[in-house]
Amino acid sequence: MKPGNTPLVELRNLAPSGTRLFAKLEWFNPTGSIKDRAAWYMFHNAVQTKKLHPGQTIVEATSGNTGIGLARLAQIYHHPMVICLPSAATEERRQLLRAYGAELIVVEGGPNDAIAHASGLVEAGEGHMLYQYGNRWNTYAHFFGTSQELLRDWQLETPPTHFLAAYGTGGTITGTSRGLKMIWADLRVHSVEPFVDDPISGMRSQDDPFQPPIADLSLVTDRHEVQRAVAESTVGMAMQEEGLFAGTSAGAILFAALEALSADGGTAVALLPDDGWKYLSGAPWTTA
């Protein structure tokens, strides 16, 4: 099943008075996240260009969601899958990766350490890495897919004033913004990030020493740094006010959307990466 065609819904209870807030719910993709889009495009391009050979091992560094999407494809098309996973990855992510048949290598440290470990495996001849941080098909997934769906499904007479997405590999915000701004030239693009010393799974700060080669931050007009605890509390508010069972990165994006709308008014579209199933072992669903 190809990813995409996820619903765009209005969040009337969360939107500040006099504004409108819409959310694209990416957890309706096959394995429950926006990363299914990039996984599909990267995998099939590698097969078509013969960079990935039949039965060859796929190696990837991931905080979870991209790996889950790739592990599904690897299982369907009979490729062994090795995932280099940062040590902070939730147990739910690890369980899903194992369910899809992936071999997990848990790397002490963060995403950059996982990238280094995966690169070392590939250099030693242990497989092919699709390398989501530098693979242009990551951005194409959103230029040809996500942005075109938003343009197609938009029902208001006037375009939105704000578009918000997480900054992680850079693929989502780069590809989607590039596609949207071809039609909505005045759209303000908001990059939602954690603070560099307060990580949120699947997200990256522009202050991190490593910046993904595919990221085009010239498209970004506004930057929001969100504390993890604030993202988690916003997840709880989204559940209470809208019945949305959202993930932590989605909570950060919703908080940034509320900030933007409260400050500037208008209409916002928030791209919500995943739901709460992969986060049940942490806040706000459990307490110490």
Q: Are residue 148 and residue 268 in the same domain, yes or no? A: yes
Q: Are residue 100 and residue 214 in the same domain, yes or no? A: no
Supply the pLDDT for residue 173: 98
pLDDT of 166-180, one tens digit each? 999 999 999 999 999
Share of the chain above pLDDT 90, in %: 90
CB-count burial class (<10 Å; 0-12, 13-18, 19+) for 108: exposed
Supply the pLDDT for residue 269: 98
Residue 215: CATH number of its domain: 3.40.50.1100
Q: Are residue 160 and residue 232 in the same domain, yes or no? A: yes
Question: What phi and psi values does residue 14 have, to the nearest 5 degrees?
Answer: -85, -30
Beta pairing partners, 189 = 163
Which residues span the domain enclosing 60? 35-129
Q: Is residue 284 part of a domain?
A: no
Choose one of 83, 104, 129: the last residue of a domain. 129
Q: How many domains does the chain have?
A: 2
HSE-CB of 180 using CA atoms within 13 angstroms: 30
Q: Are residue 17 and residue 146 in the same domain, yes or no? A: yes
Q: Are residue 60 and residue 12 in the same domain, yes or no? A: no
Q: Are residue 45 and residue 186 in the same domain, yes or no? A: no
pLDDT of 126-135, one tens digit each? 999 999 999 9
Q: How far apart are CA 236 and CA 246, in angstroms?
A: 8
DSSP structure string for 249-263: HHHHHHHHHHHHHHH
Q: Is residue 153 part of a domain?
A: yes
HSE-CB of 19 using CA atoms within 13 angstroms: 24
Q: How far apart are CA 38 and CA 83, in angstroms?
A: 16
In single-letter form, the type of residue at position 126 comes to E
Q: Are residue 234 and residue 269 in the same domain, yes or no? A: yes
pLDDT above 80: residue 139: yes
Q: How far apart are CA 80 and CA 146, in angstroms?
A: 29
Q: Is residue 102 part of a domain?
A: yes
Q: Are residue 162 and residue 213 in the same domain, yes or no? A: yes
Band (pLDDT 50/70/90 cuts) for residue 288 is: very low
Those residues whose C-beta lies under 8 Å from the C-beta of residue 50, and which sit 6 or more positions away, are none
Q: What is the mean pLDDT of the chain?
A: 95
Q: Are residue 148 and residue 250 in the same domain, yes or no? A: yes
- What mean pLDDT do residues 178-189 have? 98
Q: Are residue 187 and residue 124 in the same domain, yes or no? A: no
Q: Which residues of 158-186 are buried (b: 16+ CB within 10 A; e: fewer)?
A: ebbbbbbbbbbbbbbbbbbbbbbbeebee
pLDDT of 228-261, one tens digit each? 999 999 999 999 999 999 999 999 999 999 999 9
Q: What angle do CA 160, 165, 170 make, to 5 degrees?
A: 130
CB 168 within 8 A of CB 203: yes
pLDDT above 60: residue 287: no
HSE-CB of 227 using CA atoms within 13 angstroms: 3
Query: Using CA atoms in the order 29, 35, 38, 40, what is the torsion angle rounded to 10 degrees?
Result: -50
Q: Are residue 202 and residue 104 in the same domain, yes or no? A: no
Supply the pLDDT for residue 286: 66
Q: Is residue 288 part of a domain?
A: no
Q: Is residue 3 part of a domain?
A: no
Dig out the tokens for 27 from the structure: 């957890």
Q: Is residue 2 part of a domain?
A: no
Closest CA to 146 of 286, 287, 1, 6: 6
Choose one of 87, 102, 129: the last residue of a domain. 129
Choose one of 87, 109, 129: the last residue of a domain. 129
Q: How far apart are CA 167 and CA 56, in angstroms?
A: 30
Range with the poorest average pLDDT among 53-57, 121-125, 270-274, 284-288: 284-288
Q: Are residue 59 and residue 178 in the same domain, yes or no? A: no
Beta pairing partners, 128 = 58
